[in-house]
Chain A
Amino acid sequence: MRRNQADVIAAGAVATAGCVALYAHLPAAVIVVLGLGLFVAPGYVWSKVFLSASTRGLERVAVITGLALMVPVLGGLILYAAKIPLHRAAWVGLLAVVTLTGTMVALATQGRTDEPRGRREQAERRRRPTWHAVYFGVAAAIAAVAVGIAVYSANAQRYPGYTQLWLSPLRNNPVSASLGVTNQQGSTTQYRLVLLRKGRVSATWNLTLTDGQTWQHTVSFTDRYAIAADLYRLPDLSHPYRNVDNGE
């Protein structure tokens, strides 16, 4: 088997493995790697069809990438025109079918063998000492650290804490409303929530919410009389911290 046939078959195998991985409940990292393989595979095999063996290096990589990006763009339109919903199965099927078709076409049409690399290219390769590779590796590590710093600093960025309070009629049942509180103060916070109907206290809840926790309750709702909710952040019970109402 020639080398340029082996890699086409390998690309087809990667696509098949990618399909299997998605339905075999493999670890997320494996799915990501095989999924990326499945995404790139159509571009790889069809580049074998479109390009002659003399096209190599950056140009070949560019065409492979371009084809890989084109397949979902044009294939998605074809699926949509065929009234196939663009969910996971459709995308997986599309990429797999395009890859396997490309594999067969490439195997059937490929009479071209790999041309020997040019003398100039070989000489260029020979000239590169190992320390170049070390420098590139260190550069990649530094770039990864830079991105890591960015991610860490973005996650650690301090924002003023806040608390959300809402009273909104339910979309499917306007005589009821969702009354809710979410604590985003950055720490566990104690609240008192007072529901008022016609200016009188209708219900009271003492809430202790951890950071990020939401409390939600459905209350009866109308716009015929005033309904309001005042949220106090304990221990201050003299001024409502947040308030909502129905506008009456």
Chain B
Amino acid sequence: MPRRVNHEASAPAPAAPVAPAALESRLPVSVVTLIAALGVLVASAAYAAGRAGYASSSWADRAYWLGQALVLAPAAGRLLSRRRLTPTDTATLVVVLTVAEYLLKVCYSPAGFTFTDELLHWRSTVNILDTGKLFTVNYGLPISPRYPGLEEATSALISVTGLPVFAAGLIIAGTAHLLFICLLYLTYRCLSRSHRIAGIAILVYSCTPTLNSFDSMFVYETLALAFLGLAVLASWRTATGQSGGERARWFVLAVLAIFATVVTHHVTSYMLAGSLLLVTVASLLTRARRTALMVGALAVISVAAITCWVIYIAPGTLSYFRPTVEGLAQGISALQSGGSSGAASTSAAPRGNQVLEGAAILAITVLVPLGWWQVRKHHRHHPWILAMALGSLGWFVALALRVGTPDGQELAGRTATFVYIPVSLVAGLALIRLVNAALVRRWKSAAIGVAAAGMLVLLFDGLANGWPPYWERLPGSHQVAGFERSVGPEEIATAQWTLSALGPGGRFAADIGIYPLLAGYGDQNPLQDVGYLYTSATYTPAIAQAARAQAVQYVLVDQRLSQSLPASGTYFPGDTTAPNQPIPIADLTKFNRVRGVSRLYDSGDIVVYNLQGAQVAP
């Protein structure tokens, strides 16, 4: 029967469940940092090789993975090792790991934003700088101006330093990302009362496929996660503070962090409210009255803030999520009726990636129940850890979504950021138990080596199946209908020309590669489901009718669409079927023969037509 501990008193000092006679490591943290820096250098050299025309070469790819191994392996080994590790060492390792991976993200796109969502937030930031107003129109991501936290912080930094948007964006995103990881580490440390468990939990969290991409990019979720982390830590301190004054100050801080989260990112604020509610429920179950009262009050405040924000400022949020919710409901309904959900049965990723993914899923799926066992044994009266255990059920929900619903892969990937928060602590509790087990102690370094190797599999899975996709892992020459590698000088110049010549808000048909640039640098309104305009040899009355119904004003034709299949699988935004041959050139040049369709712009690869005067006989 576990001893009942008062978890509402803050821990005076972390009590690491470390081996009694822990020895000094032969790998000091400073050496780990040095090796990680060398890893960044090697991976950056691999990126440079990609830009020099070796993006498809196997040695450049191997160099990239070698760089990643140098970053990850020593840190993972050190965190898992049973040798002595001070709280400062652990915190340093967490910071080194996070900074090294962020630097690799910077090295991938060091001259400007290239990812779709980053370009769209670039637009919202420039709009604030230009107009001095919030809530301006963003055609590419209409919901983002209604959650302006990221753009406000970036605009303020630009205004007081004179830095360009790209540099300021990197500073804000990088700072927010590091802050989030540090706050997560501090929260884990507070809950587990062990810097060692917290370090291992952060190591598990580093396996999140989205951590080094979506969660560290110049997107609103990156900043909101930092506020979420602060709100959770402040909530913990509110419940465990030693004096009334201290608790009151942390409470105010928690409320401010909740407000900041709510105005910065929708999903993160919902997850924050959900987390606080979960802790409240767990506190009621464990009869931790003060925690239930304080955290319950914060949960109510967050729900109220979200409701007010959605009603008065961002009513478009509901319609923004409608397609996702409907798709989810259809998938679940299909599963319940025993039919096909429409989920893709196979992944197009290379076999190595699929093996890594399978191994990682299996490992987490095994670790979570082991962690629950540890929670039941040692922490069943701890409301926060109990809440984490309940939250880790989300792992299995995400697994069900992944295999059972259309776009489940995408949805599970996006929810991983939040699902991994409780999963990491629970898995960390399981891992520390395994590492400290008597059987393991007998074989010491061999067992630690196996644990580190297993952790590396998880970390490499996060990278291999995260972002950028395997076919854009190294930067390089232009790819047709890709993502980052579809962003080049010609595409940027074209997008900038559309804004200067046509003004903002033009309704554009365009391929998936240049779509984000048109919305970002061009401030245009690129449309979905426009493939029909490009896939016939003649401009028929039916096509003209459909174009009028969509109010298409301009068609952007990239003639390279006739030269290769789309790197991303589809040529146009909204397409659901993958083509099996490139688009015939005649289909792309047909607009030259349509009376009234003016050819406004020609840069060789890219031509812009004005459809508004098209004259087609019915």
Contacts and interface: CB of A to CB of B under 8 A. Distances in A.
Contact of B256 (A70, A87, A152, A223): A70
A247 B103 contact: no
A168 interface: yes
B183 A32 contact: no
Interface in B55-71: none
B152 A86 contact: yes
Interface residues of B, number: 100
Interface string B107-137: 1111100000000000000001001111000
A162 B605 contact: yes
A245 B100 CA distance: 52
Interface string B147-167: 011001101110111110000
Interface residues of A, number: 85
B111 A168 contact: no
Interface in A122-164: 124, 131-133, 135-136, 138-140, 142-143, 145-147, 149-160, 162-164
B334 interface: no
A61 to B, nearest CB: 8
23 contacts: A32-B161, A32-B163, A62-B233, A66-B183, A70-B256, A70-B260, A73-B149, A76-B156, A77-B148, A86-B155, A124-B86, A124-B88, A138-B34, A143-B100, A146-B41, A146-B107, A147-B110, A150-B110, A153-B47, A159-B489, A164-B603, A178-B501, A246-B598
Interface stretch (B245-253, B427-435, B453-461, B510-518): B245-253
Interface of B: 13, 28-31, 33-34, 36-38, 40-41, 43-45, 47-48, 51-53, 86, 88, 91, 99-100, 103, 106-111, 128, 131-134, 148-149, 152-153, 155-157, 159-163, 172, 175-176, 179, 182-183, 185-186, 223, 226-227, 229-230, 233, 246, 249-250, 252-253, 256-257, 259-260, 263-264, 475, 478, 488-490, 493-494, 497, 501-503, 594-605, 610, 613-614
A115 B109 CA distance: 45
Given A66-B179, A140-B37, A171 B133 contact: no
Interface stretch (A5-13, A48-56, A189-197, A198-206): A48-56
A77 B103 contact: no
Nearest to B163: A32
B249 A50 contact: yes
B48 A150 contact: yes
A14 B600 CA distance: 52
B490 A159 contact: yes
Nearest to A140: B37
Interface string A166-193: 1110010000001000101000000000
A28 B502 contact: no
B134 A39 contact: no
A157 B474 CA distance: 13
Given A69-B153, A86-B128, A150-B48, A166 B226 contact: no
A50 B501 CA distance: 52
Contacts of A92: 159-160
Given A66-B230, A70-B227, A73-B260, A146 B148 contact: no
A6 to B, nearest CB: 22
A166 B52 contact: no
B40 A143 contact: yes
Interface string A35-68: 1101100000000011110000111011101110
Given A58-B91, A87-B159, A153-B51, A147 B103 contact: yes
A203 B250 CA distance: 74
B190 to A, nearest CB: 9
Nearest to B248: A50
A90 interface: yes
A97 B45 CA distance: 46
Contacts of B594: 247
Nearest to B183: A62
Contact of A66 (B30, B44, B226): B226
Contacts of B172: 69
Contacts of B29: 132
A136 B47 CA distance: 24
Nearest to B612: A247
A166 B274 CA distance: 53
A95 B610 CA distance: 47
B110 A77 contact: no
A9 B233 CA distance: 28
Nearest to A247: B598
Contact of B226 (A69, A90, A154): A69
Given A50-B253, A57-B91, A154-B110, 7 more contacts: A69-B227, A72-B153, A86-B132, A133-B30, A142-B34, A149-B45, A242-B602
A65 B106 CA distance: 21
A92 B148 CA distance: 18
A245 B602 CA distance: 10
Nearest to B498: A168
Contacts of B501: 166, 168, 178
A62 B596 contact: no
B310 to A, nearest CB: 15
A74 interface: yes
B373 to A, nearest CB: 30
B497 A166 contact: yes
A94 B156 contact: yes
Nearest to B96: A139
A51 B34 CA distance: 34
Nearest to B223: A69
Given A63-B230, A86-B132, A182 B160 contact: no
B134 A243 contact: no
Contact of A51 (B161, B249, B610): B249
Contacts of B601: 164-166, 168, 244
Q: Which among A91, A94, A95, A151 has the greatest number of chain B C-beta atoms within 10 A?
A: A91
A88 B502 CA distance: 29
A165 B602 contact: yes
A138 B131 CA distance: 44
Contacts of B52: 153, 157
Contacts of A248: 595-596
A18 interface: yes
A76 B159 contact: no
B175 A69 contact: yes
B93 to A, nearest CB: 12
